[in-house]
């Protein structure tokens, strides 16, 4: 079982949309995929199931060891794709993790799923916290969407420094440009200078596109919503890069 995460210090960078679209593409490629929406805002849960999304459960029973993680899992409408929906109680997860002596509860919780799940995708809240530290340790690879702006690039540099301070392997972190709009001068300049500004980044660039925004309206991955769109092609190429790293 491989575990990957989509993570950013900055909100509104296309993190959840990327997590959902990659989860869908992985499932259609034959991977038994589990998407865990760890963000209390629940964007990934909404993108995946829209108004039909199921209500998540509090993590208190899982924290106490009384309920196995399998009981939190729901089937999606798509073959090979299950998910753990978000719950507002997730906002307290950092406090709960600080109160526990385990080196990595996230990894321990996921371990029993290894026989039936080939890929776990974690959609993480935008913060530097105990949770983010555990996610960075539990994930084999962490994919970081970065808008081509100075502020978003600075957030990426902060995350990389945080990983170094926590003695986590920076090689696990893979940034990529997202919500890119070539009509904007700064976006074009930073994309053209990618080898200098984002030298370790993936090469696929996810565009700013209305079809991605429609995911929130329809609750459907872009590949199902508009398979011939530029955005759908970009996510397919991103999945190709990610798959090569698994």
| CA torsion, ordered 198, 202, 204, 208, to nearest 10 deg | -50
The whole-number pLDDT of residue 103 equals 64
Is it the case that residue 51 has pLDDT exceeding 60? no
The residues, ordered by sequence, that sit 6+ positions from 181 with a Cβ below 8 Å of its Cβ are 187, 207, 208
Is it the case that residue 31 has pLDDT exceeding 60? yes
The whole-number pLDDT of residue 132 equals 82
Q: Domain limits of the chain?
A: 2-245
The whole-number pLDDT of residue 91 equals 66
The whole-number pLDDT of residue 175 equals 97
* Whole-angstrom distance, CA of residue 140 vs CA of residue 207: 26
Q: What are the tokens at 231?
A: 């955005």
Is it the case that residue 219 has pLDDT exceeding 90? no
Q: What are the tokens at 73?
A: 């899992």
Q: Which helix (H) or strand (E) holds 203?
A: none
The whole-number pLDDT of residue 101 equals 57
Write phi, then psi, for 96 (nearest 5 degrees). Answer: -65, -40
Once rounded to an integer, what is the mean pLDDT over residues 46-64? Answer: 70
Is it the case that residue 180 has pLDDT exceeding 90? yes
* Whole-angstrom distance, CA of residue 5 vs CA of residue 143: 6
| Yes or no: domain 2-245 corresponds to CATH 3.40.50.300 | yes
Q: Which helix (H) or strand (E) holds 180?
A: none
Average pLDDT, the chain: 89
């Amino acid at each position: 079982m491989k575990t990957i995460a989509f993570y950013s210090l900055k909100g509104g960078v296309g993190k959840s949309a990327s997590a959902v679209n990659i989860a869908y593409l992985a499932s259609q490629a034959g991977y038994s995929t589990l998407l865990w929406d760890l963000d209390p805002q629940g964007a990934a849960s909404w993108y995946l199931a829209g108004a039909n999304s199921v209500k998540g459960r509090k993590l208190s029973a899982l924290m106490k060891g009384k309920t196995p993680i399998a009981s939190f899992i729901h089937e999606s409408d798509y073959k090979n794709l299950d998910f753990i929906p978000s719950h507002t109680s997730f906002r307290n997860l950092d406090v709960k993790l600080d109160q526990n002596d385990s080196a990595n509860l996230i990894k321990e919780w996921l371990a029993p799923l290894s026989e039936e799940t080939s890929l776990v995708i974690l959609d993480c809240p935008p913060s530097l916290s105990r949770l983010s530290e555990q996610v960075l340790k539990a994930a084999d690879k962490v994919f970081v969407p970065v808008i081509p702006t100075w502020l978003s690039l600075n957030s990426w540099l902060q995350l990389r420094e945080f990983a170094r301070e926590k003695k986590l392997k920076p090689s696990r972190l893979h940034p990529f440009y997202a919500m890119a709009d070539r009509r904007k001068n700064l976006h074009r300049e930073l994309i053209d200078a990618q080898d200098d500004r984002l030298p370790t980044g993936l090469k696929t660039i996810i565009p700013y596109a209305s079809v991605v925004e429609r995911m929130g309206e329809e609750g459907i991955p872009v590949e199902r919503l508009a398979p011939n769109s530029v955005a759908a092609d970009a996510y397919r190429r991103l999945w190709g890069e990610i798959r090569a790293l698994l």
